[in-house]
Amino acid sequence: MRLVNQFWFADPANDLHAKFAEFAANYPARCELLKIGTSYRGRAIHGLRVGRGHLRLAVIAGLHSQEPLNAPGSAAFIHTLLTHSGLDGEDLSAWVEETLTKQTLYFVPLVNVDGAARFAEDVPNCWIPNRFHTTVWEELSQCINEPMMTFGLKRGAPGFNRLTEEQVREWTEVRGRRLGWLFTDQGVDLWEDWQKFDAPETRALRDFLFQIRPHCVLELHGHERPSRIYVPIPSARGEAARLQMLYGEEMMTQLEESGLPCSRHSVRTYQYKEYFQEFPDFVNLNLGCLSLFGETCCGLMPDRLRESARTDPLNRRDADSRTPTQEEIIRTVWVWLKALVELGNHRSYQ
Ligand SMILES: [Zn+2]
């Protein structure tokens, strides 16, 4: 429980800033607290810079409300960079020194900060198994997606990035219901807002990335399947696709070697569709750098998804996968970040 007590965020909208501020106060020469922008509700979106090297990595997470689960592992990894100590106290001084000489690392692990505050109200300790059992896929799905199901809206349809103001008002004020976790309080799905930029959060993240010009962007989400890196992303071709697979496979191999529960499938594209302009594709097409996309297991695999996986060649090896504990989720993100940064040291994200 040590790692959970040290890094898990029960109230991520406040706890992440407190942790980053603590890092910046204790290690002013090694890191810097950043304000990336301001959310729809006026909350600050925080980031942290570590190191001053010429290679720039950006770790982005928390675009969806129910996905603050990648922030604790990011904080644990930052702690390693600042203290030179691994998750079990191992001395990583030489590795950290090499990393911070070569790289500048930017962490923005909670972009949808308003949504994370709402999620913390909906789910005790932001731990989905505290509220849901594996038998209740319908109820969990409603918490994530509504009011899309009720209003007959389809995610991923061309041009879809949000609920209208009228739909948000109808759902929350007239019907008195909770907005689904896919959305910000404004009703925007931040992952799908990369052509329209309707949300202040999306605009802030876009401007930040253009300012720092990263060599690599890793974006992490949380889902109800085993943890997995999904590359190549739909818009990647040729050398860009090969590079994404090289990095993704190594991140998955090191996760598997660590003994943590994870997908047994090789890396592959997350989804296939002609219309693509989600965040990782925006990065690939507009920033021209290595773009990686991963999904960390949220700690719950509903029975319904396990059953469908048994007859689905794309997921069948994972049908009986064990779900990770909170500590294992922290370790998963840490192992992925260590593997990625190590490859960056050796290959310069090329
Ligand atoms: Zn997501």
Q: pLDDT per residue over 71-120, tens digit each?
A: 999 999 999 999 999 999 999 999 999 999 999 999 999 999 999 999 99
Distance from the alpha carbon of residue 183 to the mean position of ligand 1, in angstroms: 10
Residue 164, classified by CB atoms within 10 Å of its CB into exposed (0-12), middle (13-18) or buried (19+), is exposed
How does pLDDT run across 135-163, given as a tens digit for each residue?
999 999 999 999 999 999 988 778 889 99
In whole angstroms, what is the distance from residue 127 CA to residue 125 CA? 5
Residue 309, pLDDT score = 97
Q: What are the helix (H) ranges across 113-214?
A: 113-122, 137-145, 148-151, 165-169, 200-212
Question: Exposed e or buried b for every residue in 112-143, given b needs 16+ CB within 10 A?
Answer: bbbbbbbbbeebeebbbbeebebebbeebebb
Which of 8, 109, 96, 17 has its CA nearest to residue 53?
A: 96
Mean pLDDT of the chain: 96
Query: Cis bond leading into 147, ω under 30°?
Result: yes
Instruction: Write down the pTM of the prediction.
Output: 0.97
Distance from the alpha carbon of residue 29 to the mean position of ligand 1, in angstroms: 34
Distance from the alpha carbon of residue 242 to the mean position of ligand 1, in angstroms: 24
Distance from the alpha carbon of residue 271 to the mean position of ligand 1, in angstroms: 13
Residues in the chain: 350
Please, are residues 335 and 173 in contact by the beta-carbon 8 Å criterion?
Answer: no
How does pLDDT run across 218-275, given as a tens digit for each residue?
999 999 999 999 999 999 999 999 999 999 999 999 999 999 999 999 999 987 666 6
What are the tokens at 337? Answer: 């970040």
Distance from the alpha carbon of residue 64 to the mean position of ligand 1, in angstroms: 5
Distance from the alpha carbon of residue 339 to the mean position of ligand 1, in angstroms: 22
Fold of the domain built from segment(s) 2-117+191-203+212-319+340-347: Aminopeptidase (3.40.630)
Residue 274, pLDDT score = 61
In whole angstroms, what is the distance from residue 33 CA to residue 248 CA? 29
Distance from the alpha carbon of residue 80 to the mean position of ligand 1, in angstroms: 26
Q: In which band, very low, low, confident or very high, does the pLDDT at 167 lie, cut at 50, 70 and 90?
A: very high
Please, are residues 214 and 125 in contact by the beta-carbon 8 Å criterion?
Answer: no
- For ion ligand 1, residues whose CB falls within 5 Å: 64, 221
Residue 271, pLDDT score = 78
CA 65 and chain centroid, separation: 10
pLDDT at residue 55 tops 80? yes
Q: Indicate the SS3 state at residue 138.
A: helix
Residue 276, pLDDT score = 62
Distance from the alpha carbon of residue 254 to the mean position of ligand 1, in angstroms: 23
Q: In which band, very low, low, confident or very high, does the pLDDT at 1 lie, cut at 50, 70 and 90?
A: confident
Distance from the alpha carbon of residue 220 to the mean position of ligand 1, in angstroms: 8
Percentage of the chain beyond pLDDT 70 is 99
Distance from the alpha carbon of residue 223 to the mean position of ligand 1, in angstroms: 7
Residue 157, pLDDT score = 79
Please, are residues 48 and 118 in contact by the beta-carbon 8 Å criterion?
Answer: no
pLDDT at residue 277 tops 80? no
Distance from the alpha carbon of residue 190 to the mean position of ligand 1, in angstroms: 9
Torsion region of 125: left, alpha or beta (phi above 0 gives left; psi -120 to 50 gives alpha): left
Distance from the alpha carbon of residue 294 to the mean position of ligand 1, in angstroms: 9
Residue 63, pLDDT score = 98
